[in-house]
Amino acid sequence: MTEEKYAEAAYEVESSIKIALLKNHMTQRELADEIDANPQQLNRAIKGDMTPKSRELREQVARVLNL
């Protein structure tokens, strides 16, 4: 995947999560509490970090927000 495609995909994921948070009247901190995650790590995951922990957090976020 090219850098441009990666950046585009990361932006789409971030946008989807932020929209879902707004629809659920939830902050990132509340989401972090819900999935028992560190708020800073959750933010990195939302922004597209590719570590295994971030990938796991995105899966949890998808379940909680029904994405």
pLDDT at residue 47 in the model = 93
- Total count of domains within the chain: 1
**1 pLDDT tier (thresholds 50, 70, 90):** low
**Judging by beta carbons within 10 Å of its beta carbon (0-12, 13-18, 19+), is residue 46 exposed, middle or buried?**
buried
**3 pLDDT tier (thresholds 50, 70, 90):** confident
Domain of 27, in residue numbers: 3-64
